[in-house]
Homo-oligomer: A and B are copies of this chain.
Amino acid sequence: MSGGTPYVLIDGTKMERNLLKMADIAWENGVALRPHVKTHKIPGIAREQLEAGAAGITVAKVSEAEVMADGGIEDIFIAYPLVTEAKIRQVIRLGERVRLVVGVDSLEGARRLSAVAEGRMLEVRLEVDTGLRRTGVLYDEAVGLAGEIEGMDNLDLTGIYTYRGAVLGGSRTLELEKAGLEEGQLMVSLAAQMREQGIGVDDVSVGSTPTAEYVAKVDGVTEIRPGTYVFYDRMQARLGTCSLDECAAVVVCMVVSRPAPDLAVIDGGSKTFATDVAPGAEPLNLEGYGHIVGYPDAVLERLTEEHGMLSVDEDCDLEVGDTLQIIPNHICSTVNLHDEVYFAGEDGGVEEMRVAARGKVR
By a CB distance below 8 angstroms, the chain B residues around A303 are 276
Q: B361–A333 contact, CB under 8 A?
A: no
A323-362 interface bits toward B, Cβ cutoff 8 Å, 1 = contact, 0 = none: 0000000001100111100000000000000000001011
C-alpha gap A339/B359 in the complex (Å): 7
Q: A108–B319 contact, CB under 8 A?
A: yes
Specify how many copies of this chain sit in the oligomer. 2
> At the interface, yes or no: A226 with Cβ under 8 Å from chain B?
no
Instruction: Name the prevailing secondary structure of the A interface residues.
Output: loop
C-alpha gap A83/B264 in the complex (Å): 14
> At the interface, yes or no: A305 with Cβ under 8 Å from chain B?
yes
Kindly provide the distance from the CB of A150 to the nearest chain B CB, expressed in whole angstroms.
20
Identify 13 new A-B residue pairs, CB closer than 8 A, beyond the known A305-B332, A305-B333: A6-B361, A7-B362, A83-B254, A83-B320, A84-B254, A105-B259, A133-B260, A134-B304, A135-B259, A271-B359, A274-B275, A339-B359, A359-B359
> At the interface, yes or no: A268 with Cβ under 8 Å from chain B?
yes
> At the interface, yes or no: A102 with Cβ under 8 Å from chain B?
no
Kindly provide the distance from the CB of A42 to the nearest chain B CB, expressed in whole angstroms.
16
> At the interface, yes or no: A205 with Cβ under 8 Å from chain B?
no
Q: Which of B257, B268, B272, B321 contacts A135 (CB 8 A)?
A: B257
Given A83-B320, A106-B258, A138-B259; A361-B275 close (CB under 8 Å)? no
Given A133-B309, A263-B133, A278-B275; A362-B6 close (CB under 8 Å)? yes
Listed by A's residue number, 6 A-B pairs whose Cβ atoms lie within 8 Å are: A38-B305, A133-B260, A134-B265, A134-B307, A135-B259, A271-B333
> At the interface, yes or no: A119 with Cβ under 8 Å from chain B?
no
Q: Which of B82, B137, B319, B359 contacts A259 (CB 8 A)?
A: B137
Q: B270–A362 contact, CB under 8 A?
A: no
Q: B321–A4 contact, CB under 8 A?
A: no
Which single residue of chain B is at the shortest CB-CB distance from A332? Answer: B305
Q: Which of B112, B138, B259 contacts A106 (CB 8 A)?
A: B259
Q: Which of B109, B256, B260, B271 contacts A361 (CB 8 A)?
A: B271
> At the interface, yes or no: A185 with Cβ under 8 Å from chain B?
no
> At the interface, yes or no: A61 with Cβ under 8 Å from chain B?
yes
C-alpha gap A290/B61 in the complex (Å): 23
C-alpha gap A288/B333 in the complex (Å): 19
C-alpha gap A134/B265 in the complex (Å): 7
Of residues A87, A108, A276, which shows the largest number of chain B Cβ atoms within 10 Å of its Cβ?
A276
